[in-house]
Structure formats: C-alpha cells, structure tokens
C-alpha cells in the first residue's frame, strides 16, 4: 500500500503546511475503515477517507486547521440525510498538522501495521511476476518477491521487499504460518521444488503455480515419485481462475491478485477472531 510518509516529509522540508486526516472511529455503515487516511495541503489532497461529503468535510476542516495554525482537532460526522451521505454510520476524523513528531508517529504506525499484515511470497520476477507484484503492492498485505536473478528485481515497486536468493526454497521454510505462495519462476524444476516445499508445510493459506493442465499433471507425477501426489489437492494451477483464458501478464496478475487477497484476508481475519475470542472463552470456562 502507498505510504503517505514521503509526501509528509516532502511538505515539511518545502515549508508547505499539510494536515494528516485519519478515520479515528467508524461505527455502522461507513465508506472507509478505521485507520484510512489522507494528506491535505492548501492545494492538494492525497489518499482518501471515503469520498463524498464526509471527505469534503475533512478537507475543509484540514484547510481550516492550516489557516488557524492550530495543531490538531477532531471532527464528528454522522453519515445521514443531513449531509447528503446515506451510509447511516458515524465517523470521527482525527486531524493533525504535519511536523517532525507527526511524521515519526506515522512511520511507527505504518511499521506496526505492515508487520501485522499477512504475507504473500511471489517467486519469480519475470513479466508476469512483476505485473503481479505491481498489483499486490497496492493492497493491504506484506509482499516479498524472490528471484535468484538480481537484475530481474530492478523494476519492482518500492513497497515490495525484493530478495535475490540462490536458494528460494529456504524462503518457504522461514515464512510464517498463513503465508500465500505464488510460484512463477523461469524454470519448471525450480517451480516444482518451491511448490512442493510450500505444500508440505500444511499451513499455507494459498499455494499457486503459473501454468497449464499439462504442467499440473507433470507436477502430480513429480510428487508421486515420493508418494506425495495427495499434495496436489492443495495447489491452485492454473492461477487466476478459469473464467478468462487470457495470457497477458497484466490480466493474469489482476485475476491472481484477487484470488490471493481473498485467501489472505479471509485467513487473517479468522486468525484475529480466534485470537480475540480465546481470552473470552477461557474466562467463560473459569466462570462455569
């Protein structure tokens, strides 16, 4: 996801007053979730807190904060007929003038948020791998692209963690539970090695490999040589679904990004629900 920190720093260094506007609370039906943010200057808006009258109110309040030279304020916005936005929820916007302390706080917040996101590991930075990285880089996940060829990593977005590794299968072993693995290297035997390692873990939320039905059958036979052909059931191949038979990298990337994001966020949300529920269950058990 795109960070607002570089632009905040740029505004501060240029002497351009700016205000960070963030959704502090979001209750009921709202256009954006808590934490969504935008940066407002006297002439520019970057990011979004949901659009419509809500966003316009935030922009007006931010520019009012700039004119008043105040440091911060809050704006409570009921989303109903009175403002012409019919979501029906209630949003509180937090507004803070950008200074060195605000930038440091935003850097820390982004770092903590990034570390808490689910991880997608893409193996291979060829045409399709790079297109997929560009699609996934916009989404609320951590993304790492691994390729044994350092030169192939040069065109990745800055948000992507790029690793040149002569032993990419080692990245599989060190990944946390719930990782999504997408395998699309320049070499079929290497694809098989990586995918098999990911499937053997048993805790991946997604294992996908680029290719055809023929490649899937070859991989199944490869697994059968060690008595592991049952693992093929956990493999997504072809990636991106079967609705469109389009081989253009950008199309494959868009379809695969949706597939990976659905698995990652669903698995991540369930993990959070279980984590939050566990103390309550323990307390309930103790009470009984």
Q: How far apart are CA 53 and CA 79, in angstroms?
A: 9
| Beta strand 206-209 pairing with 119-123 | unpaired
> pTM value?
0.72
pLDDT of residue 74: 94
pLDDT of residue 77: 84
Q: How far apart are CA 136 and CA 239, in angstroms?
A: 14
Q: How far apart are CA 24 and CA 156, in angstroms?
A: 32
Residue corresponding to tokens 């240029």: 14
Q: For residue 53, give the nearest of 87, 85, 89 by alpha carbon.
A: 85
Contact (Cβ atoms closer than 8 angstroms) between residue 205 and residue 264: yes
- Domains along the chain with CATH numbers: 5-114 (no CATH), 117-270 (3.40.50.720)
pLDDT of residue 39: 96
pLDDT of residue 202: 93
- Classified as helix, coil or strand, 17 is coil
pLDDT of residue 276: 32
pLDDT, tens digit, for every residue of 226-281? 999 899 999 999 998 877 778 899 999 999 999 999 999 886 555 433 433 333 33
pLDDT average per 10 residues of sequence, the chain (288 residues): 88 96 90 91 94 90 92 86 65 94 93 88 95 92 93 89 91 94 94 95 95 92 92 93 82 94 76 37 30
| DSSP string computed for 188-236 | HHHHHHHHHHHHHHS--SEEEE---HHHHHHHHHHHHTTT-GGGGGG-B
DSSP state of 2: -
């Amino acid at each position: 996801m795109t960070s607002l920190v570089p632009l905040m720093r740029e505004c501060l260094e240029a002497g351009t007053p700016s205000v960070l506007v963030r959704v502090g609370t979001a209750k009921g039906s709202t256009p954006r979730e808590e934490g969504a943010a935008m940066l407002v200057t006297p002439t520019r808006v970057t990011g979004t807190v949901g659009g419509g009258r809500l966003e316009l109110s935030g922009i007006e309040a931010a520019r009012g904060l700039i004119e008043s030279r105040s440091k911060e304020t809050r704006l409570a916005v009921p989303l109903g007929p009175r403002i012409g936005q019919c979501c029906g929820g209630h949003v509180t916007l937090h507004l803070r003038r950008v200074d060195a302390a605000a930038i440091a706080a935003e850097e820390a917040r982004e770092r903590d948020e990034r570390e808490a996101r689910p991880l997608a590991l893409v193996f291979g930075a060829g045409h399709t791998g790079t297109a997929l990285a560009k699609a996934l880089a916009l989404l609320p996940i951590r993304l790492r692209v691994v390729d044994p060829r350092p030169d192939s990593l040069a065109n990745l977005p800055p948000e992507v963690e790029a690793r040149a590794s002569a032993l990419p299968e080692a990245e599989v072993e060190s990944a946390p539970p719930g990782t999504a693995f997408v395998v699309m290297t320049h070499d079929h035997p290497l694809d098989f090695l990586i995918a098999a390692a990911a499937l053997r873990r048993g805790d991946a939320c997604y294992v996908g490999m680029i290719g055809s039905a023929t490649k899937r059958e070859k991989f199944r036979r490869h697994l059968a040589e060690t008595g592991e052909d049952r693992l093929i059931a956990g493999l997504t191949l072809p990636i991106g679904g079967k609705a469109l038979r389009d081989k253009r990298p950008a199309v494959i990337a868009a379809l695969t990004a949706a597939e990976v994001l659905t698995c990652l966020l669903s698995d991540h949300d369930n993990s959070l629900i279980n984590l939050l529920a566990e103390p309550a269950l323990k307390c309930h058990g103790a009470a009984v």
